[in-house]
């Protein structure tokens, strides 16, 4: 690869992509702070890849979308975009990040935050039989009870909002605040702290979605992203691609071989798992974590992982233009055993590597930023580094 679509030399591309991948800047801007999705991209990395490998109007795909960073950045830079994820929570979050609101919706949301949220009272009787919801397993202890009750009351109160978009937006604000109040904390926030945080969070999110809407409407030819709740292996059967649309650029981060991440649950009250995010978003979580990670953590051979990975990569290749770039970040629990196998999957799916290296034959690695406290306690494991790969569809 001597140059990119926009003309820089290979060395310039390597330096820009490597530096953006290794940035330690916090995730900020547009709607990126709506929810802290595990293993999320740096917006700076996505923006750099977009600028190096695509033009305005091109079609960009993230087949393992997660929190939607790629689709947000693509729309903001006048690219058409498609996001795909098997996790319903990922699709919910991405949709909230990319759905512009009208003036009456933002007015109603701010009024809800100002008038309704401060009045939510733990002693108020709730009509929601939350205790019977399987998604609230491990969310019954005294340390978390007050926050759960306020969330329950807040969910009941959003029926007064004027549209489904406004109600979904309020749920995303509750998801954001609930994560802050409950996930990975020794002690949950108090009801008073939760109410104050929820009001401030929603106001900040309204400002962010207004900015995003302005950026999106700067280019009338660019629609909101197409968001697909399905496995990437089925992309070729989706009507959008069935009508002949083909992808110019893929930017993504797949599940990592042998690395199991809670993409869908919180850890509360001593690291007990709860599917409360699905309760808040009103989405189903009917699959174990192995489903989201391409295999069980108990399987040593990782045969199930690599079989699932190959199927999805083949699905992605089928909807890409020949010569289109596939840029990804991936980590391995054991790179010595797994990297070659992963690269074989890429080749079998129809991709050739563009060796993005430091000029000495070494690929571009980066330290994983923002690791959770229990990951930090384990130290610099092999999975604490991510690899940046660039491939071309052949």
pLDDT number for residue 38: 82
Helices (H), the chain: 10-21, 43-53, 69-76, 88-98, 103-111, 145-157, 164-182, 191-217, 239-242, 276-281, 289-292, 303-318, 335-349, 373-377
**Domain 10-87+224-258+293-393, what architecture?**
3-Layer(aba) Sandwich (3.40)
Are 249 and 324 contacting, i.e. CB atoms less than 8 angstroms apart?
yes
- What is the spatial distance between Cα 158 and Cα 152, in angstroms, rounded to a whole number? 10
Domains of the chain by residue range: 10-87+224-258+293-393, 103-215
pLDDT number for residue 390: 92
The two beta strands, 226-229 and 272-274, are unpaired
pLDDT number for residue 134: 75
- Nearest of 260, 264, 235, 197 to residue 349 by alpha carbon: 235
Q: Which region among 209-218, 271-280, 324-333, 371-380 has the lowest average model confidence (pLDDT)?
A: 371-380
169-197 residue pLDDT tens: 999 999 999 999 999 888 889 999 999 99
pLDDT number for residue 177: 97
pTM, entire model: 0.91
**For range 327-335, the mean pLDDT:** 93
**For range 67-82, the mean pLDDT:** 94
Does 384 have pLDDT greater than 80? no
């Amino acid at each position: 690869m001597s140059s990119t679509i926009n003309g820089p030399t290979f060395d310039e591309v390597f330096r820009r992509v490597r530096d953006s991948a290794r940035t330690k800047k916090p995730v900020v801007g547009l709607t990126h702070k709506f929810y802290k999705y595990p293993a999320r991209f740096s917006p700076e990395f996505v923006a750099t890849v977009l600028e190096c490998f695509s033009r305005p109007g091109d079609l960009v795909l993230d087949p393992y979308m997660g929190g939607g960073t790629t689709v947000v950045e693509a729309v903001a830079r006048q690219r058409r975009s498609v996001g795909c994820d098997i996790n319903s929570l990922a699709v919910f979050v991405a949709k909230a990040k990319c759905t512009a609101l009208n003036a009456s919706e933002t007015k109603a949301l701010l009024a809800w935050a100002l008038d309704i949220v401060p009045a939510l009272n733990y002693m108020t009787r709730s009509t929601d039989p939350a205790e019977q919801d399987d998604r609230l397993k491990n969310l019954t202890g005294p340390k978390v009870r007050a926050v759960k009750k306020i969330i329950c009351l807040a969910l009941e109160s959003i029926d007064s909002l004027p549209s489904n978009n406004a109600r979904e937006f309020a749920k995303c604000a509750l998801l954001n605040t609930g994560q802050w109040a409950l996930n990975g904390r020794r002690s949950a926030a108090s009801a008073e702290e939760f109410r104050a945080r929820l009001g401030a969070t929603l106001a900040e999110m309204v400002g962010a979605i207004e900015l995003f809407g302005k950026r999106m409407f700067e280019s009338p030819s660019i629609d909101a992203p197409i968001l697909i709740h399905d496995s990437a292996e089925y992309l070729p059967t989706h009507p959008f691609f069935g009508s002949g649309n083909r992808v110019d650029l893929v930017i993504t981060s797949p599940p990592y071989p042998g690395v199991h991440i809670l993409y869908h649950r919180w850890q509360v009250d001593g690291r007990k798992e709860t599917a409360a995010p699905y309760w808040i978003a009103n989405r189903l979580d009917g699959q174990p974590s192995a489903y989201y990670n391409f295999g069980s953590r108990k399987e040593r051979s990782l045969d199930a992982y690599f079989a699932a990975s190959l199927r999805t990569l083949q699905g992605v290749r089928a909807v890409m233009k020949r010569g289109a770039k596939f840029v990804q970040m991936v980590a391995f629990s054991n790179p010595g055993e797994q990297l070659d196998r992963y690269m074989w999957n890429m080749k079998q799916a129809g991709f050739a590597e563009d060796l993005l290296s430091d000029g000495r034959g070494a690929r571009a690695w980066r330290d994983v930023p923002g690791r959770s406290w229990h990951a930090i306690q384990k130290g610099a494991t092999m999975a604490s580094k991510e690899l940046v790969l660039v491939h071309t569809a052949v």
